[in-house]
DNA sequence: ACCATTTTATACCGATCGGTATATTATTGC
DNA sequence: GCAATAATATACCGATCGGTATAAAATGGT
């Protein structure tokens, strides 16, 4: 589904890299390009902490060019969150799809988070970063994060449910409780890992979740 | 230890409220007053999202007056975090001290977080708010949050440990693992509660922690 | 290859940012 | 109560903020 565009020289500047679809118009591709470059910066420095100039520098475009494709900084932030959330969601589904049993799907989810937290240029979970900033300031982002939380929890609950139906897990394994608990532990654990600068506590948290799953296996 | 100062009229403006100690100099009291007013704003809007003007308006002082007491906005943010973290810590110790058994101390901790999350003008846990913003931008705040995390976890672990020694909990109850896990769940749970606008999931998370404690009681 | 349309760069806007010099006012030690 | 000191308000600084008008340049349909 993806294709690579030849980098274009405009006014002597090299400014585009990878596009997701060749049938996009120029404007759509540039919009996507801007979001792609802005998203990690916003995830790192926050919405309030990121200036248009940061985005201009990262894209190597100009302010007029950025505002030719977006109404406002706010719109860029919204699309940046959507982009990051969609990517995380896709990566999780991908990681889980490779596992065969439902237990292994849950374990794959844990491994994904463990891998992502130590990755360079990732700057932590976008749900946590955007969520904590938005909860008292930006109701639109807040609602988007809220939906993403519920979606992730539902994903976990669904796996547990199909594990029960497949006879893999005991019937006493409560999908809703576990999904809520596991998600809170993962987000809390990733937050701690980033602040501590290591995965020690996150590892303990994920091991504890794995233990709980094993206890519910039959 | 606390005393109430008569509100002072200066240039016709009423600008001071409650001080913690009467032997403070005027400057010390004003510093404290500024921190007291700024802290909830910074906790709500973030360090980058809060302007000096926000603090000027909240204190009803002037910019020159604020900068007469602080070197920079950064210094205010640091003291605001210290103030909030210290207050949370003191409230937790207070809540726990009223309980007799170690189990009840842990339950009291949970109740504290449950109460705080629905409180007006609280704007969520300062550790989470400052921590997520600081982790990629402000190493000093990052370290402060880091220390506060460890302190809280140690507090939990200590209660579990003395519960084991008192014969209240089984020896299989691991203090370190539980404290890490419980803290991640609480922070994650509070974060979710604030975004969802209700305590439903936090309640489930805390109930799950209580269940685990009960399972380790003998 | 041309021309209408889209997209870009330049230059600029008023507002606000964090921060400061200074004069005025309040406090404090005596 | 007075002088020395501390704390405050006013006015202002350059830089940067988010955003825009406009003209030049690139794109795309024919």
What gap in Å lies between CA B187 and CA B127, rounded to an integer? 9
Answer yes or no: is pLDDT of A108 > 70: yes
Tokens 């993806």 correspond to what residue?
A2
- Tally of residues, chain B: 218
DSSP secondary-structure letter at B199?
A: S
B63 C-beta less than 7 Å away from strand D: yes
Testing the interface with B: which of A132, A175, A212 to mutate, by most B Cβ within 10 A? A132
* Residue whose C-alpha is closest to residue A46's, from A14, A81, A13: A81
* Residue whose C-alpha is closest to residue B34's, from B4, B61, B7: B61
Say yes or no for a CB contact (<8 Å) between A132 and B136. no
Q: Which residue has the higher pLDDT, A78 or B29?
A: A78
Report the pLDDT value the prediction gives residue A121, as an integer from 0 to 100.
84
Q: What is the pLDDT of residues B69-117, one digit of tens each?
A: 999 999 999 999 999 999 999 999 999 999 999 999 999 999 999 999 9
Answer yes or no: is pLDDT of A45 > 70: yes
Say yes or no for a CB contact (<8 Å) between B145 and A195. yes
What gap in Å lies between CA B25 and CA B31, rounded to an integer? 10
Q: In sequence order, what are the beta bridge partners of A3?
A: A19
Chain centroid, CA A172 distance in Å? 31
CA distances from B129 to A147, B45, B134, B192 (A): 20, 9, 9, 13
| H-type alpha helices, A60-125 | 63-69, 73-97, 102-117
A-B CB pairs within 8 A amount to: 126
Could you give all domains of chain A from N- to C-terminal order, each with its CATH number?
1-70 (1.10.10.60), 81-218 (1.10.357.10)
Residue nearest to nucleotide D6 (CA to C1'): B27
Long-range CB pairs of A120-123, under 8 A, 24+ apart, other chains included? A121/A40, A122/A40, A122/A43, A123/A40, A123/A43, A123/A44, A123/B136
Report the pLDDT value the prediction gives residue B24, as an integer from 0 to 100.
66
Q: What is the mean predicted confidence (pLDDT) over A175-197?
A: 98
Which chain C positions have some atom within 7 A of a protein CB?
Answer: 6-12, 16-22, 25-28
Q: What is the mean predicted confidence (pLDDT) over A201-210?
A: 98
Across the interface, which of A44, A129, A180 has its CB nearest the CB of B201? A180
User: In the structure encoding, which two tokens stand for residue A41, read together?
Assistant: 């910066």
Across the interface, which of B180, B192, B208 has its CB nearest the CB of A205? B180
Q: What is the pLDDT of residues B154-211, one digit of tens each?
A: 999 999 999 999 999 999 999 999 999 999 999 999 999 999 999 999 999 999 999 9
Q: What is the pLDDT of residues B50-68, one digit of tens each?
A: 999 999 999 999 999 999 9
Cβ atoms A192, A124 nearer than 8 A: no
Rounded to whole angstroms, the distance from the CA of residue B26 to the C1' of nucleotide D1 is: 21
Report the pLDDT value the prediction gives residue B121, as an integer from 0 to 100.
84
Q: What is the mean predicted confidence (pLDDT) over A65-79?
A: 95
CA distances from B167 to B148, B156, B175 (A): 29, 17, 14
Rounded to whole angstroms, the distance from the CA of residue B8 to the C1' of nucleotide C25 is: 14
Say yes or no for a CB contact (<8 Å) between A128 and B132. yes
Answer yes or no: is pLDDT of A158 > 70: yes
> Percent of chain A at pLDDT above 70?
89
Interface residues from chain B to A (CB-CB < 8 Å): 44-46, 48-49, 123-124, 128-129, 131-133, 135-137, 142, 145-146, 149, 176-177, 180-181, 183-189, 191-192, 194-196, 201, 204-205, 208
Interface residues from chain A to B (CB-CB < 8 Å): 44-46, 48-49, 123-124, 128-129, 131-133, 135-137, 142, 145-146, 149, 176-177, 180-181, 183-189, 191-192, 194-196, 201, 204-205, 208
User: In the structure encoding, which two tokens stand for residue B183, read together?
Assistant: 């803290």
Contacts of B29 (CB under 8 A, 6+ apart): B5, B16, B19
Which chain D positions have some atom within 7 A of a protein CB?
Answer: 6-12, 16-23, 25-28
Report the pLDDT value the prediction gives residue B141, as an integer from 0 to 100.
97
Q: Which residue has the higher pLDDT, A11 or B74?
A: B74
Across the interface, which of A124, A142, A181 has its CB nearest the CB of B208? A181
């Amino acid at each position: 589904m993806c294709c690579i565009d030849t980098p274009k020289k405009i006014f002597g500047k090299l400014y585009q890299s990878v596009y997701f679809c060749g049938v996009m118009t120029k404007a759509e591709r540039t919009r996507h390009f801007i979001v792609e470059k802005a998203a990690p910066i916003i995830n790192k420095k926050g919405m309030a902490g990121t200036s248009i100039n940061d985005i201009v520098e990262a894209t190597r475009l100009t302010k007029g060019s950025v505002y030719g494709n977006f109404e406002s900084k706010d719109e860029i932030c919204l699309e940046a969150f959507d982009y990051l959330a969609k990517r995380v969601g896709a990566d999780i589904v991908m990681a889980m799809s490779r596992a065969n049993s439902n237990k292994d799907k849950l374990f794959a989810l844990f491994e994904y988070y463990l891998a992502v937290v130590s990755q360079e240029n990732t700057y932590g979970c976008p749900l946590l970063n955007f969520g904590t900033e938005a909860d008292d300031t930006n109701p639109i982002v807040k609602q988007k994060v809220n939906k993403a939380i519920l979606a992730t929890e539902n994903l976990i609950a669904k796996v547990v449910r199909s594990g029960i139906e497949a006879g893999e897990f005991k019937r006493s394994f409560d999908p809703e409780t576990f999904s809520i608990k596991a998600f809170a532990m993962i987000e809390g654990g990733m937050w701690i890992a980033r602040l501590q600068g290591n995965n020690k506590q996150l590892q303990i948290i994920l091991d504890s979740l794995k233990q709980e799953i094993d206890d519910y296996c039959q």
